[in-house]
Amino acid sequence: MNLRKKPKEGVEVFTDSLNDIMFFLLLFFLIISTMANPNVIKVNLPTSKNNPDVETKQVSIYVTADHRYYVNKTEVTFFELEGRVTEELKGVTAPTLVLRFDKTITAQDIVDVLEIGAKLKVKMVIATAAPNAK
């Protein structure tokens, strides 16, 4: 009679391929995270008692077919244009110039006004008419 216990075989988990799987998952998530748009992340922002408002202001510059310049419907000469725009934008943190040119104005006239805006380092937008407007 054989009363000796049989040696138990140890249970092993084969993990050699687990490293490859983890590497591919890591690579997949790294690639996907770089392609994800950061604007879709929802974040609950903290509140503050002092909430500084960013003051934005739009200043319109009109140039008519007969080379008359207007800043917010006030007529100025071309040489007064830069000073008047600077006056209008004083104290504004995010200024925007809306440029409204007559369609008969030459490209040089447009560039002259754009140079003033570039010198003042403001955002500029050229206004156009809707396709069905006459």
Is 65 part of any domain?
A: yes
Contacting residues for 17 by C-beta, under 8 A, at least 6 apart: none
Domain of 63, in residue numbers: 56-126
Cα 74 from Cα 126, distance rounded (Å): 19
Tally of structural domains, the chain: 1
At residue 59, φ and ψ (nearest 5 deg) are: -115, 130
Is 103 part of any domain?
A: yes
Query: What does the angle CA 63 – CA 106 – CA 67 come to, to the nearest 5 degrees?
Result: 35
Cα 11 from Cα 20, distance rounded (Å): 22
Residue with tokens 């104290």: 91
Read off the pTM: 0.56
* CATH number for 70: 3.30.420.270
Is 115 part of any domain?
A: yes
**pLDDT tens for residues 2-30?**
677 777 777 787 778 888 899 999 998 88
Is 25 part of any domain?
A: no
**pLDDT tens for residues 72-126?**
888 899 899 889 988 888 877 788 888 888 888 888 988 998 998 889 888 888 8
Is 82 part of any domain?
A: yes
CA 84 → CA 64, 65, 87, 103, distances in Å?
Answer: 17, 21, 5, 24
Is 90 part of any domain?
A: yes
